[in-house]
Chain A
Amino acid sequence: MIAPRNLKVSIVVGQVSHAQAVIDDLRQRAMAAAASPAWAVSVDVVQVGSLTDGDAPGGGEGIVRLQAERPAPAAARLGALAGKPGTVGVAGRLVRDNLESRRVASTLARHKDVVAALRGSAVVVAADPSADRAVWQLRRATGAHLVHGPAAMVHAIKALANG
């Protein structure tokens, strides 16, 4: 009997509501994607956010939690602008989302050990738009599939498992 080959999937979670539900869904889909017994899928999760008292940094259950950097001083005002209709609202959302993705990406970049672990993955998936930049910025550091969301993640796993 040949031991199954390991296929490591890493999930990067930024600022998202119901994070645990999103993580569970991605984890479940990743495990189901490589249906062949020739592959053993392992899933790691990196969550970057504003941790609450119940979220111990370092995490557990395969989750590494990183305390995000403090929001920019103008974040609250941008949040208000982002809720407005029309061009002002669009501009507000653009700046707010841009700063948020930068916050997630720079927090991750400061944790070299976590970045090194991500670089060793076969697939790195951004769970939400605020995590896109953090995953995208790995593009010159690894040959891993860098994707956003469940469909692209499953596609990448299947491509690897069937390739």
Chain B
Amino acid sequence: MTRPHLLYIAFSFPPSTASSVYRCTAVANAFAKDGWDVTVITLDPSVWSEISGTDHGLVESIDPRITVVPVDDCGAEEPARRDLRRFSRLRIEAPYLWKELYRRKTRKGFPEDFHAAWLDPASKAARQVHADHAVDLVMASASPYVSFGVARSLADVPFVLDYRDAWAFNTISGAEDFSPESNMGRMEADYLDRAAQMWFVNEQIRGEYAHRYPKAAGKMRVVANGFDPQPGHARRTVQATDRPSFGYLGTLQYVNMPLQPFLAGWDTAFGTESPTKADGVFRGKLSPSGAAPAEVLAAFASAAGNGLRYDGPISKRDVAGFYGTLDALILLLSTGKYVTGGKTAEYLATGLPIVSVHDLGNAATDLLRDYPLWFPAKDLSPAAIADALRECAAALREPDEARWMAAWEYGQQFDRSAILTPVIAELRQIAGRSEAELSAGTGEMP
């Protein structure tokens, strides 16, 4: 098969700024680069514009050979829509009650709150794509997991499930959402049995899935998040500084991230009582929805005197320019042994010093441990965070050129194309083969 056809089900795709977008874009581009015809089924961009904002600069990063088929949400994002003219009287009078009734209504076709409403329209679009140009392989990216349901809408076409994280348990708290013996667990096992392959972002999540569903373990792959070189990605000449600029880039999951201890640690390290001064710039969304929580805005407003500020979201296409203005990076992550963080690889690729403000039991530590410019907070107390910041500032006063060079070289191994090339080569062997032809459930490659 010289030019196989991939149908990629990605609920989030540019211009969406949802967290999975960068991986989805990179995967679609990598298939196109490998010589596949690629069709992407995704949510209509106007819905993203309304619920969380868009980044049209990101559209430029889509390979022009890719065909994008937008599909209306058909109510899947109704709770996130904030056009008050759409609101019923019930939603105004009793919003929790409205949401619960709506949740129950949407779960009828697929066991996922709200997003299940996307199953029918997206499946219909998938069948139309297949009728127009026969599909050889379907890849579905989660979350939402309704994408997996859409992947199964084409009978006898092999499909791959890109879990990224986990469906059966919470990757931050580790709490189980459903057991393998439950109805949901049995349904998931059936998906895994029928899938040609499934991807996870780290070994910790893959290992837990292999433990839960041993029959499918052979088909489970770790496809780590990498970085996608953006315009301007280049090694910077290191310069000594007495007032370093620290930066954070990403979506601030403030409920789970140790933001308050960080702010206190920053104040200790660089506040009015400290002889050392620094600047700290946060860029990105203040919540996954793009809304700005009042307490976070107030926290930044009160920290402004200490050199910290929030400068709003930034286009993905401009991130290299932002990194170019910084001396060091702040890596704030939620606590959890399954947490790698989408931005970790991107941070590493900058070659800049990284101050880690996260639990060192996180999966991210596996990537950072050998990085020559890693300054981890020993724990999440303000004192430990302040120590890490000070240690980094001290290194920046008299930077060691060789150490900076080693950090840059270390970071380039996380280029996403290097990660995706071997797994896509493997999938070429699967494309176009029926389920019967594949060794379903054993994980053995044909």
Min CB gap B72→A, angstroms:
16
* A139 interface neighbour in B85, B301, B312, Cβ under 8 Å: B85
Of B31-39, B151-159, B291-299, the one contacting chain A is: B291-299
Of A3-11, A13-21, A65-73, the one contacting chain B is: A13-21
The answer to whether the Cβ of B255 comes within 8 Å of any Cβ in the partner chain is no
Q: If A17-B295, A94-B96, A98-B93 touch, does A150 touch B290 (CB 8 Å cutoff)?
A: yes
* B84 interface neighbour in A90, A94, A147, A158, Cβ under 8 Å: A147
The answer to whether the Cβ of A151 comes within 8 Å of any Cβ in the partner chain is yes
Q: If A94-B96, A132-B87, A151-B50 touch, does A21 touch B81 (CB 8 Å cutoff)?
A: no
* B50 interface neighbour in A17, A25, A155, Cβ under 8 Å: A155
The answer to whether the Cβ of B52 comes within 8 Å of any Cβ in the partner chain is yes
Contacts of A19 in B (CB 8 A): 294
Contact at A25–B297, with CB atoms within 8 Å? yes
Contact at B50–A152, with CB atoms within 8 Å? yes
Contacts of A152 in B (CB 8 A): 50-51, 81-83
Contacts of A24 in B (CB 8 A): 297, 301
Interface centre among A21, A97, A147 (most CB of B within 10 A): A21
Q: If A93-B96, A151-B290 touch, does A146 touch B297 (CB 8 Å cutoff)?
A: no
Contact at A21–B95, with CB atoms within 8 Å? no
Q: Return the chain A residue nearest B310 by Cβ.
A: A25
Instruction: Tell me how many residues of A have a C-beta within 8 Å of chain B.
Output: 37
Contact at B82–A21, with CB atoms within 8 Å? no
The answer to whether the Cβ of B97 comes within 8 Å of any Cβ in the partner chain is yes
Interface centre among B82, B87, B312 (most CB of A within 10 A): B82
The answer to whether the Cβ of A120 comes within 8 Å of any Cβ in the partner chain is no
Q: If A21-B301, A139-B85 touch, does A151 touch B94 (CB 8 Å cutoff)?
A: no
* A151 interface neighbour in B95, B291, B295, Cβ under 8 Å: B291
The answer to whether the Cβ of B179 comes within 8 Å of any Cβ in the partner chain is no
Q: Return the chain B residue nearest A25 by Cβ.
A: B292
Contact at A146–B295, with CB atoms within 8 Å? no
Instruction: Tell me how many residues of B have a C-beta within 8 Å of chain A.
Output: 27
The answer to whether the Cβ of A47 comes within 8 Å of any Cβ in the partner chain is no
Contact at B92–A101, with CB atoms within 8 Å? yes
Contact at B292–A150, with CB atoms within 8 Å? yes
Min CB gap B310→A, angstroms:
9
Within the assembled complex, what's the spacing in Å between the Cα atoms of A150 and B51? Answer: 9
Contact at B84–A148, with CB atoms within 8 Å? yes
* A147 interface neighbour in B82, B95, B298, Cβ under 8 Å: B82
Q: In residues 123-163 of chain A, which contact B (Cβ within 8 Å)? A: 126, 128-129, 132-133, 135-136, 139, 145-152, 154-156, 158
Contacts of B50 in A (CB 8 A): 151-152, 155
The answer to whether the Cβ of B49 comes within 8 Å of any Cβ in the partner chain is yes
Contacts of A146 in B (CB 8 A): 83-85
Within the assembled complex, what's the spacing in Å between the Cα atoms of A155 and B51? Answer: 8
The answer to whether the Cβ of A109 comes within 8 Å of any Cβ in the partner chain is no
Min CB gap A106→B, angstroms:
14
Min CB gap B311→A, angstroms:
10
The answer to whether the Cβ of B53 comes within 8 Å of any Cβ in the partner chain is yes
Contact bitstring B63-100, A, C-beta under 8 A = 1, else 0: 00000000000000000011111010000111111000
Within the assembled complex, what's the spacing in Å between the Cα atoms of A22 and B95? Answer: 22
Within the assembled complex, what's the spacing in Å between the Cα atoms of A153 and B108? Answer: 32
Contacts of A97 in B (CB 8 A): 95
Q: If A24-B297, A152-B82 touch, does A133 touch B53 (CB 8 Å cutoff)?
A: no
Contact at A18–B94, with CB atoms within 8 Å? no
Min CB gap A162→B, angstroms:
11
Q: Return the chain B residue nearest A145 by Cβ.
A: B83
Contacts of B312 in A (CB 8 A): 28-29, 32
Min CB gap A21→B, angstroms:
4
The answer to whether the Cβ of B442 comes within 8 Å of any Cβ in the partner chain is no
Within the assembled complex, what's the spacing in Å between the Cα atoms of A98 and B94? Answer: 7
Q: Return the chain A residue nearest B80 by Cβ.
A: A151
Please report B residues at the A interface, Cβ cutoff 8 Å.
49-53, 81-85, 87, 92-97, 289-292, 294-295, 297-298, 301, 312
A-B contacts, 23 listed (Cβ < 8 Å): A18-B301, A24-B297, A24-B301, A25-B292, A25-B297, A32-B312, A94-B94, A94-B97, A128-B294, A129-B95, A132-B84, A132-B87, A133-B92, A136-B84, A139-B85, A146-B84, A151-B50, A151-B51, A151-B53, A151-B82, A151-B289, A152-B81, A156-B83
